[in-house]
Structure formats: structure tokens, C-alpha cells
Amino acid sequence: MTSISSASPGLAMPDPKNRLFGPLPDVSAEAGYEEDHPKRVGFFTDTSVCIGCKACEVACKEWNTLPMDDSHGERDALGLSGMSYDNTGMLGANSWRHVAFIEQSRAVDLPMPTHRRPGDDRSAGGDLPAPDSGDLDSTAKAQASVLNAEALSEFDPQTGQTGADKQIRWLMSSDVCKHCTHAGCLDVCPTGALFRTEFGTVVVQGDICNGCGYCVAACPYGVIDQRKDDGRVFKCTMCYDRLTDGLQPACATACPTQSIQFGDLDELQERADARLATLKAQGVETARLYGRDENDGVGGDGAFFLLLDEPEVYGLPPDPIVTTRDLPAMWKAAGKAAAMMVGVAVTAILGSRRR
């Protein structure tokens, strides 16, 4: 019987390559599972079809019986964040799904930058093409079809128009724990409370966690957090309890637009690549996959995203790196520093005249 190791494979395996960072084809096997373990599962969150309904947040809270908190993680507080329609605010111990709302505007005479004051555009005459002055039928069609990617570029379905000179669009994205290939939280957990499941996901064992809080500081995405009144840490489990019973996670089940897709990770990646190609072909230049690249700083994410803007717009780090990548260098420095201390002490003793 193989024992399931909660350590990063980096220091347990003979091959030093790609054990602390970089691509890892089979995370569950690296953690010690037998060959017949289930395939790695994940989430593909396609934000281009997210409608911001927050059904995922509600389903998650319901299924996992998460307590209420406000946008700063304060327990049992009902508060408005003042940021758009987002009163969840962030992922945390009590919010394992978080729908971000970003309201953006742009002038319609792009790509030329405008230096005029907003009101001046109108008085400048009819040289600016007003996007809603065209064919009303096609505009309406574009608005009607949420999944029409051409419309997304021409007339974003998340976009309304507030005037002749300005477009408004809404970006909505349901954020979640990334279940990294190289999970910082898992690497630094000193009790083994965090572990890699047979599905390749990362889960906290509540009966083991002693609330040291190291994982909170180690997560490059700021996902996992401590419940102050409880002392332990909590995060998305990708509904481990449901997975073991052959069910899909609650959020993916609840999503009405299939923005949250659950499945085998390799299949999701193929689907995401195809979706990105479709969007690109239809002219959505800003579409990009986030967390899909196995060569990124965390070896790719188990939960990855299709975004329509830079990651930081959604509150995601643009280039996260698992902190443990640099740990060998740190241990080396600490060893040298410790040797230096002994050296200084010996010199100090030998250099002082005996009484």
C-alpha cells in the first residue's frame, strides 16, 4: 500500500525536474496514488458567457453550509461593498466562489485616442460613427444572441450604450480556488491538513488543521483564508464529497449558462482551446485563457478561465509563481547564514583573550 504524501513531490522523488514547479502530467500519481486513480478534474470558467447571476455563489454556500460574511470577510455582517454589484468582494474562508463585476467604458472612435472632453464629441458633428445609429435589426440580433462571438466583438452582449461617444461593457467572472498543479498552500502546510485528492484537487482536512495560517500567506492568488472565530482555514474543495459520489460540484451544476464547466481537465483544456480559437476567429482580440498554460509559475491550474481582459482587471495576479519554486535557494541561504553565525561565534571566542 502506497502512502499518500502531503509533501510536494519536489523533495520526495529522485528526479528533481518539475517537482517544485513546471508541468506535471499526473499530479495524483506524484502524490502517491495508485495508477488506477481517477483522472484529474477541473473547472473551466468561460467568463464570456457569465451573466453574473451568482447562482454558483449561492449553490456553493448552500451545499457547503458556509456562513454569511461581508466583502471584507467579517462574519455575520451584512454590508454593501460599494463596488458595482459585487458585495461578496473576494474569495475567502466563507466565500469559495466569487463573482467579479467590472464595468468598463470606451470611446467609440477607437483606435484613435480622444483628447476632447466628453461633451465635445457631440458638438463636433456627425463625423463619429454612432454605433447604435446603424442597422437596428442587426443590433437587436446581436444583443439577443449571448453566445454569438461575432456580436461579442461588434456589440458585446455585456455591453450597453449610454451615448454616441461611449460604450459600456460588463465583465463578469466567477472566481474560485485554482487547484494548482504546484499548490503553494499544500507545499507549506506543516500538519498535512492540506492534501492532494485522487482527483488532483487540493483539500483541507478540518480535523487536522491547527490554524497556523501559513497557507494563507503562501497562496499566490489570495484564495484560502482563516475563519477568525474558528481558527482553522477553509477553501473550495471542488465539492470533494460530491465528486466521490459521482456528482458534479454544486457551482457547475447551478450555472445556467455553462460559464462554469466541470469535467476531466484534459477535456476541458481542449474545449477551452477550441472556444478561444472560435472567439479569436470571430474577432474577439482580447480573449485569453488564464491558468491554462502548464509552463506558468504554478504548473497550470486545475481551475482555469477564459478572460476578456487582463487578469488583474478581474483581481487575478498576472503572473503567479508558486513560492516553493525558490525554496531551494532560500534553504541554501539559510544554511550559509547559519554557518556564518557559527563562524562569527568561533572567531569571536578565539579572538578574545582568555580571562
Binding positions for [4Fe-4S] cluster are: 50, 53, 56, 60, 177, 180, 185, 189, 209, 212, 215, 219, 236, 239, 251, 255
SS3 326: helix
Number of residues that bind another protein (CB under 8 A): 99
Stretch that binds another protein, among 28-36, 141-149, 256-264, 342-350 (CB under 8 A): 342-350
231 lies in the binding site for another protein (CB under 8 A): yes
The CA distances from residue 101 to 53, 86, 157, 281, 292, in Å, are 11, 6, 15, 26, 22
Contacts for 311 with CB less than 8 Å, ≥ 6 apart: 290, 317, 318
The CA distances from residue 161 to 131, 139, 165, 308, in Å, are 9, 11, 9, 18
Stretch that binds another protein, among 3-11, 128-136, 245-253, 258-266 (CB under 8 A): 3-11
SS3 345: helix
Tell me which residue of 287, 316, 312, 285 sits closest to 303, measured CA to CA.
Answer: 316
Q: Which of 49, 177, 233, 238 binds another protein (CB under 8 A)?
A: 233
Q: Which helix (H) or strand (E) holds 102?
A: strand 97-107
Stretch that binds another protein, among 29-37, 75-83, 140-148, 247-255 (CB under 8 A): 75-83
Q: Which of 90, 128, 130, 247 binds another protein (CB under 8 A)?
A: 90
Tell me which residue of 203, 174, 169 sits closest to 27, measured CA to CA.
Answer: 203
User: Cell 517537482 appears where?
Assistant: 19
Q: Which of 69, 187, 198, 301 binds another protein (CB under 8 A)?
A: 187
Q: Which of 16, 134, 190, 256 binds another protein (CB under 8 A)?
A: 190
Judged by CB under 8 A, the chain residues 50 through 69 that form the site for another protein are none
Residue ranges of the annotated binding site are: 50, 53, 56, 60, 177, 180, 185, 189, 209, 212, 215, 219, 236, 239, 251, 255
What is the total residue count of the chain? 355
Stretch that binds another protein, among 136-144, 245-253, 270-278, 346-354 (CB under 8 A): 346-354
As measured in angstroms, the least distance from the Cβ of 175 to another protein is: 9
298 lies in the binding site for another protein (CB under 8 A): no
